[in-house]
Amino acid sequence: MIEQTVPYALAAEEDRCAPRFDVHIPSILRPSGEAGFKVIVTNLSVAGFACDVVTGMRAGARCWLTLPGLSGLQAEIVWNNHGAVGGAFSNLINEAVLATIVARYRTGG
pLDDT tens by residue, 74-97 = 999 999 998 899 999 999 999 999
What pTM does this model have?
A: 0.81
101 sits in which H/E element: helix 95-105
In this structure, is residue 70 part of a structural domain?
Answer: yes
CA angle 99, 104, 47 (to 5 degrees): 40
Query: Considering its fold, how many domains does the chain have in total?
Result: 1
Model confidence pLDDT, tens digit, residues 16-66: 567 899 999 999 999 999 999 999 999 999 999 999 988 888 999 999 999
Residue 67 lies in a domain: yes
CATH number (domain holding residue 34): 2.40.10.220
Close Cβ partners of 58 (under 8 Å, ≥ 6 residues apart): 77, 80
Q: Is residue 49 a part of any domain in this protein?
A: yes
Q: Give the range of the structural domain holding residue 86, as residue numbers without chain letter.
A: 22-105
Q: Is residue 8 part of a domain?
A: no
Is residue 17 assigned to a domain? no
